[in-house]
Structure 1
Amino acid sequence: MATIQKAIIPAAGWGTRFLPATKAQPKEMLPIVDKPAIQFIVEEAVNAGVEDILIITGKNKRAIEDHFDRSLELEDLLREKDKGELLALVERIADLADIHYIRQKEQLGLGHAVYCARKFIGQEPFAVLLGDDIIVNTPSCLEQMLAVYEEVKAPIVAVQEVPREEVNRYGVIAPLEIDGPLIQVKDLVEKPQPAEAPSNLAVIGRYLLVPEIFPLLEMVQPGAGGEIQLTDALRLLASQDLVYAYRFQGKRYDIGDKLGFLQATVEFALARPDLAGPFREYLAGIISSALGNLQIAATKE
């Protein structure tokens, strides 16, 4: 049994970068091929041994609850049509874990979303998984972090090196000492300008936290973007106690970004035995056509 049994998945954002698709549909329900993005996150938590998941929702997020609920009419239809594989698929979704929901009534930032979970968490350590980051690896990013937590029994944030010019999109750590994948955190800064960033080690959407974070979240003032930043509370925590960063193994897809979403869709499709062959042929045709057009254009010049 994993030491950490509870996880929080914040899913209350407006998803403005994907408008108009997210005008009436949660961005977390946008599919990577045929699976909603948030299901990848839930499955990562479940496969790592987490038993209770709290999804922080907002307005227009009912589709998330419906997805992880039973759909008796659909199940009956699939049963009648003898579609056993699809029936097992939808039944499995409803049985993944004990999933709970609470609304973030105001969009006050990630820190505030985590703070909304304080009663659900109680006095236990817990995980936070952000839906914009899908990380592919065996063992998963969360499993790697849980193994490290067993050794250090202290908060851990996942980090990854990013280009210096992109650090203003992330929380960034100031490392005390870099010696292997586990790094003690001296400080953290939310969305620093490249010239002012203490490193290029960016916090990626996986955290293992302790309940001591909640009074700190209550204390912090709105920071970057006028929001309550989880990074600012972690900064306070790091000044009082040990906080670690972990450079995980795996490929990360930033599906909160349109290009990252497209990259994930293409690469996940190519990894599917039922799609890889014909899809690869289709992509090869596109590339061949594009190269042909370039040659024609070069000839005309």
Structure 2
Amino acid sequence: MRTRKAVITAAGRGTRMFPATRAIQKEMLPLVDTDGLVKPTIQMIAEACVSAGIEELCIVVERGGGQAFQEHFRAFTDDEKPVFAGKDWLLAEGEKLASLAERIRYVEQPSPEGFGHAVYQAKAFASGEPVLLLLGDHVYTGDPLGQMLAAGASSGGSVTGVRVEPESGVSVTGIIKGKATETAGLYEILALQEKPTVAEVQALNTEGLAASTYLGHFGIHLFTSEIFDCLGELIATNRRVKNEFQLTSGQELLWKRNPDNYRALLVAGERWDIGLPDEYLRTLAKFGSLGPHSQVLMP
């Protein structure tokens, strides 16, 4: 199964990063990339998608929230070009933004009704094709996107990226109970639950993992188009969790409909979340340490 399209959700308010997010979306917060250039987080994600082989991208924004992204992902105007004359590297970066702009489509989430509801807005963009689903405030080291696309190509079905989570972290992520397959790192899904309690997670233990550790969502999914049918059913029947349409509910329905066509992949790599102040600092330090300015981080 070949995956050409990616969906990036960027419709949250970013309240935990206030007041920086008063005027801009958290996905526009800057990072120093490994090439030494300062980029908004959403650009780093878009570039990673293209490098992995994705051809078309859809950014899901809040109502009226696309302007900041569109202003960033665009070509230089004729008035701007003279200002940057002689700065070849800068003009080249502008051309990259213009090239990315040609790949990006925006859809709005008309009301804040949950992650699953935001993802559903990309149904027309998917147009029956599989999609790689990413969060607009997560960046990665390693090559998780390539691993996910390869797993989807070999399995022919949906894949959820997972990592090993300690018991102390299960209440903030989705947890999957898996059974190892013959393919290294690929698991058959036996059960899944969003943010279980420590008591509930005991039933989600995956054989072969260390004691008190579990398979938790990594922040990347690869879905066949059937996920949109599942989310549409939840919305049509008003099946909410904590008054929101959850992606995990759609995943559970997808799995129940066709368990043999949905797998979990233990991803090699690290996830970095810019949506919290402390995690944002860690992300800045990590990516800074990998680039040409790393010496400034030395004591």
TM-score, normalized by the shorter chain, greater than 0.5: yes
Q: Which runs of 5+ in 1 are unaligned?
A: 285-301
Residue 8 of structure 2 aligns to a residue whose secondary structure is strand
Report the equivalent of 2:125.
120
TM-score normalised over the length of structure 1:
0.86
Equivalent of 2:294, from 250, 258, 276? Answer: 276
Q: CA deviation at 1:170?
A: 0.9
Residue 95 of structure 1 aligns to a residue whose secondary structure is helix
Structure 1 residues 269 and 74, CA, compared in 2 at 3 Å: closer, same or farther?
Answer: farther
Q: Once the two structures are superposed, what CA deviation does each residue of 1:212-262 show, in whole Å capped at 9, x if it has no partner?
A: 111210222454442111111111111121211101111221222222211
RMSD over aligned Cα atoms:
1.7
Alignment of 1:99 onto 2:116 = no
Alignment of 1:74 onto 2:80 = yes
Equivalent of 2:148, from 141, 145, 148? Answer: 145
* Larger displacement relative to structure 2 (26-35 or 169-178): 169-178
Quick one: distance in 1 between partners of 2:163 and 2:287?
A: 21
Is the Cα contact below 8 Å between 1:133 and 1:204 reproduced in 2?
A: no
Report the equivalent of 2:14.
15
Report the equivalent of 1:130.
135
Equivalent of 1:239, from 256, 274, 287? Answer: 256
Report the equivalent of 1:45.
49
Equivalent of 2:39, from 16, 35, 44? Answer: 35
Residue 106 of structure 1 aligns to a residue whose secondary structure is coil
Alignment of 1:55 onto 2:59 = yes
Structure 1 residues 83 and 189, CA, compared in 2 at 3 Å: closer, same or farther?
Answer: same
Once the two structures are aligned, what percentage of the paired residues are identical?
35
Residue 279 of structure 2 aligns to a residue whose secondary structure is helix
Quick one: distance in 2 between partners of 1:26 and 1:65?
A: 12
Q: Point out the structure with the larger strand share.
A: 2
* Corresponding pairs, count: 275
Residue 239 of structure 1 aligns to a residue whose secondary structure is helix
Q: Which runs of 5+ in 2 are unaligned?
A: 33-37, 206-213
Residue 70 of structure 2 aligns to a residue whose secondary structure is helix
Alignment of 1:155 onto 2:158 = yes
Summarize the alignment of residues 84-233 of structure 1 with structure 2, pairs less than 5 Å apart.
84-96=88-100, 98-137=103-142, 140-177=143-180, 180-197=184-201, 198-199=204-205, 200-220=214-234, 221-233=238-250
Is the Cα contact below 8 Å between 1:11 and 1:56 reproduced in 2?
A: yes
Moved over 3 A (4+): 73-76, 176-180, 221-225
Is the Cα contact below 8 Å between 2:170 and 2:195 reproduced in 1?
A: yes
Q: CA deviation at 1:22?
A: 0.5
Residue 199 of structure 2 aligns to a residue whose secondary structure is helix
Residue 235 of structure 1 aligns to a residue whose secondary structure is helix
Is the Cα contact below 8 Å between 2:6 and 2:57 reproduced in 1?
A: yes
Is the Cα contact below 8 Å between 1:25 and 1:61 reproduced in 2?
A: no
Structure 1 residues 69 and 222, CA, compared in 2 at 3 Å: closer, same or farther?
Answer: farther
Quick one: distance in 2 between partners of 1:182 and 1:205?
A: 16
Quick one: distance in 2 between partners of 1:29 and 1:49?
A: 23
**Bigger relative contact order, structure 1 or 2, given CA contacts below 8 A and separation 6+?**
2
Quick one: distance in 2 between partners of 1:123 and 1:144?
A: 22
Is the Cα contact below 8 Å between 2:26 and 2:137 reproduced in 1?
A: no
Quick one: distance in 2 between partners of 1:19 and 1:212?
A: 36
Quick one: distance in 2 between partners of 1:48 and 1:188?
A: 28
